[in-house]
Amino acid sequence: MNASAMLARYARVLLPTVSFAVLLIAVFWLQPRAMSYVGLNLLLNLALPIALATIAQMFVITVNDLDLSLGAYIGFVACVGATWLNDAPLLGIAALAAGIVLYALVGALIHLRNLPSIVVTLGMSFVWLGLAILVLPTPGGKAPEWLRALMSWKTPFVPFTIYALLALAVIVHLGLMRSAYGVVLRGAGGNPRSVERSGWSLLKTKMTMFALAGLFGVFSGLALVGLTTSGDANIALRYTLLSIAGVILGGGEFTGGRISPAGAVLGAMTLTLAGSFLSFLRLDPDWQIGAQGVILIIVLALRVLINRAERAA
């Protein structure tokens, strides 16, 4: 590999870190008080559910699919967490387990019938939203005490969210990028024929990845309930697009099993910081979503340039 190719490769790997660092420095410059324990907690407390949702989406993208139902599913989990998990824990646990199983079955359906994942998951988004409304017709409910205590845990040196994000990146990286079965799971997206010729079942790998997406969607919904202390069927609808953006911003690709767990977590943190940065700029809320999109486009444009340079080298 020549020097220019190595440089382009390192640039692609470092882009999520650099994007996050630039935004963090900009936030500290605009609001120096954010450079404190309390300030970091306020800046990043919502990064954990977004990062968990991004990892969930990453599992689906790894096998060349896309999940458009994730936001509605997280909303369903939030409604269960704020009602059944609090009032009837066994029923709540059973409902969440059933959601994970249903996610795995959706993966099986997509594989066996060769259906477009976008169409299937778009249809499932209405199913999850309907179930969420049945569980909790109006916003309300109450988060379990243990969940609220966990999400408000005062850890030493830095807020709990930072420790949780670091642990999330390390655990998923080791499981997906360093383990033998992780290679098989990624291979199902990068080179499915070789995986199948090696004796591995593509059906099982796809069901596993969708089940993992369902599991981390549960974690995301519960973390969100622990932070907001109540539930709402529409609480996480924007997480669908945020999770996709986080994966791509973190170095993932839509095809080929090319993903980065640590990059996905950094991508989620960057998207969270972008909202705070725009608020500190006192930008009109009506323009903030558009401005977040511009920031994302700039970073992704850099990704395209880096990828072209890598291919040219």
Q: Does residue 54 contact residue 238 with C-beta atoms inside 8 Å?
A: no
SS3 140: strand
Q: Could you write out the DSSP letters of every residue in 183-237?
A: HHHHHHHH-HHHHHHTT--HHHHHHHHHHHHHHHHHHHHHHHHHHHSSB-TTTTT
Residue 134 one-letter amino acid: L
Q: What is the CA radius of gyration of the chain?
A: 20
Residue 259's pLDDT is: 86
Structure tokens at 298: 């700039």
Closest CA to 227 of 71, 45, 37: 45
Supply φ then ψ for residue 140, to 5 degrees: 160, -145
Residue 308's pLDDT is: 72
Residue 6's pLDDT is: 61
What b/e string do you get for 43-63 counting C-beta neighbours within 10 Å, with b at 16 or more?
A: bbbbbbbbbbbbbbbbbbbbb
Q: How far apart are CA 39 and CA 34, in angstroms?
A: 4
Q: Please, which residues bridge with residue 6 across strands? A: none
Per-residue pLDDT of the chain (313 residues; tens, 9 = 90+): 555 556 656 666 677 888 888 889 988 988 888 888 888 888 888 899 999 999 999 999 999 999 999 999 999 999 999 999 988 999 999 999 999 999 999 999 999 999 999 999 999 999 999 999 999 999 999 999 999 999 989 999 999 999 999 999 999 999 999 998 888 998 888 788 888 888 888 999 999 999 999 999 999 999 999 999 999 999 999 899 889 989 988 888 877 678 889 999 999 998 888 888 888 887 776 676 777 777 677 777 777 776 676 666 6
Q: In the block, which residue shows the tokens 């932070």?
A: 227
Residue 4's pLDDT is: 58
Residue 31's pLDDT is: 86
Q: How far apart are CA 310 and CA 313, in angstroms?
A: 5
Residue 84's pLDDT is: 95
Reported pTM: 0.93
Residue 309's pLDDT is: 67
